Structure 1
Amino acid sequence: MVLRVASYNVRSMKDDVGALERVVAALRADVLCVQEAPRFLRWRRKRVRLAAFGGLSVVAGRRRGGVAVLAGPGVRVVHGEGHLLQPFLGLERRAIAIGVVESDGWRAAVGSVHLDLDETARVRHAAEALALLRATADRFDALPVLAGDINEQADQPGWRHLTERLTDCYPVSPRGAGLTFPARGPHLRIDAIFAAPDLSVVSCGDAGADPADLVAATDHLPVIAELTCADPGGIGGAGEAARDLGSGLGRHGAGENR
């Protein structure tokens, strides 16, 4: 089975909610990683509504940090958790939401992140989020997948840190131009999906939704990756693979399990 993992910054559902509903439905995602998920008045209800647009349910993500993981009926939800990342004075608090799902005998630990505009915080949080994702993947014999609004491009240090340990899915099997920001006249690829090297990337890129809806729904374009596991029988080794991915990062005690 192909696992469809999507990443989407929804700008707190402040724009055209009807257009957002149609885009989320068009994604047909098994797992949707959300950034700028609703955080204020009726935030839980709004996230449930967002999930329902795609026939999904909320798996992980508390209010602070504004990230969430949603999952559909095509996968079995194994676990969900959230962590606050190290605080930086004067900057918005960042977090990672992680959902572990099972599909066709293999498991993926899927993390949603929204990294900061400040480079120091961004690089630190990239390393910290990877370490937390690795630990969860290790506990559940899962393969790590990290998706999010990275707020930088492929030649910058935070992104490079991620691609030293995970595969940037878009260059492997690109679909469409891959540019994600701004939604109207995109010229930057700052949203991405990174997967364990053990996973095969069938395709990654544009969502295939109506262009008018994409512009109206929010200020980012979604990214969707189709992933397969070549050796589901070898899933027991995923913990070892995850440890290898996280080697040299060390433990980051600043994350708060929420």
Structure 2
Amino acid sequence: MNTHTDAHLLALAAQLAEEAADIIRTIRARGFEIQTKADTSVVTEADHAAERHILRGLRAAYPDIPVIAEEEVASGLHGEVSPVYWLVDPLDGTREFAAGRDDFTVNIGLVRDGRAHLGAMALPAYDQLYTGGVGLPAQRKDKTGTHAIHTRLPPAEGLHVMASRHYADDPRLADYLGGRKVASVRNLGSAVKFARVAEGVTDLYPRLGPTMEWDTAAPQAIVEAAGGHVTLADGSPLLYGKRGWKNPEFFCTGTTVSS
């Protein structure tokens, strides 16, 4: 019988994220069709297959913990907020995946009392797995083994920024960065940006466009376990259980950067 310790919960999320990454890689290798959902976002066979596998695993192991998953919500199964629940994005960055790019992720996060509590995030194209949570270490698993990760102090040359590919021309980004010492700005898709902050490769990810809670729960838990922060414009934490599962704009920062 599975226990509800955070270590057991995270181990299951990590296992399922890696297995979902294998499913996605297999589908990518043989080809797939792209469909458009009612909200005009795209979805593929890989999204659905990965989500089915994750949901089956979570519900079999912990039937008492509700699961809110992107494609189930898209199909009309909206779920309800509870003190503890899973948030699943089986393929974050579907547009990147569909375009043949590598920046897409599998996100499995656990929310407890409105906070991102722990999470596992796989990067299928990079063969990387990131994990972490409250009281749990932030780690990256790759082909060379498992490594502790931590956010960094910004380098002397200035902030290295990662921003959304799909909002690259948003004038709000230039306004936000104005007055800051910035060394570089790179635009790419998906929650990969959180991973790069968590492991100290970049310093700041300002999210000025819309996201959903399943996009951010797992990566937020990992970034915070690594010493970083995910906050709103006023400095308050990004919280969960919001109406419609929609996030406001937020700022993911490393060790000493503030929004």
TM over 0.5: no
Which protein has greater RCO, CA pairs closer than 8 Å, 6+ apart? 1
Greater C-alpha Rg: 2
State TM-score, norm by structure 2.
0.30
State TM-score, norm by structure 1.
0.31
